[in-house]
Amino acid sequence: MTTEEGKLIMSGLEIQAVRKDIKNIHVGVYPPNGSIRIAVPLGTTDEKIKLVIISKYNWIRKQRQKFLNQKRETSREYVTGESHYFMGQRYILNVITGPYRGSIEITGKKHMAMYVSPDAGIQGRRKVMEGFYRAGLTEELNKDMVKWEERLGVYASEIRIRKMKTKWGSTNKKDKRIWISLELAKKSCNCIEYVVVHELAHLIERNHNNKFRSIMDTAMPNWKLLRDELNDLIY
Ligand SMILES: [Zn+2]
């Protein structure tokens, strides 16, 4: 079998392209780093490969996000010196053990302190971090909801936070319930606000169609920039 391999770089993503004696195009995203591989029939041009990648871009992005989240979560040890993100800022963790129930305090521009009991393992420390994320995110979401429900003239029955791997939020238009990913606590306030507006817009329009985009354009003209910032994979 004739095989020809090459590398393509598109919007910062490195794509391994393989031309071989096949009939159909296959695109794959592989763990642990979310590497991208595309297999195409012999003679397929780079242009054609680029078009396929563009048409699959959202799917690729989601797959990569999933792998990177998994990798990140399993590699976290919650020890002193490790970096953690909160509201778009990177902090160096300082773990202080003692007779504590578990809490986190931002102790400066670049540092966060975690107070935990000496026998809290990785799981216990992760729980403390998640509690901190949840509290911070709840506060931010509440502020944004008050502002944007009124501006958009729609009201959610409830907004809840949960662990979601591949989405930042989801909305059930019928029961007006909004779910937000706990991961969002790592992102900037502007990104959090964008997700709130996006999900509230789904109370007006379920699909990502022209009507939806025009609601977003009117409410938040820079939403595309925020969406890209949100999906930036650097961290
Ligand atoms: Zn949506």
Say if 113 falls within a structural domain: no
CATH at 131:
3.30.2010.10
Say if 94 falls within a structural domain: no
The rounded Å distance from CA 97 to ligand 1 centre is 42
pLDDT of residue 235: 42
The rounded Å distance from CA 207 to ligand 1 centre is 7
CA distance 48 to 41: 11
**pLDDT range class, residue 127, cuts 50, 70, 90:** very high
Q: Which domain holds residue 18?
A: 3-74
Tell whether 125 and 200 lie within a shared domain: yes
Tell whether 37 and 129 lie within a shared domain: no
Q: Is the pLDDT of residue 2 over 70?
A: no
Say if 185 falls within a structural domain: yes
pTM higher than 0.85 for the full model? no
The rounded Å distance from CA 184 to ligand 1 centre is 15
| Chosen domain end from 74, 108, 135 | 74
In tens, the pLDDT along 170-226 reads 999 999 999 999 999 999 999 999 999 999 999 999 999 999 999 999 999 999 999
Structural domains counted in the chain: 2
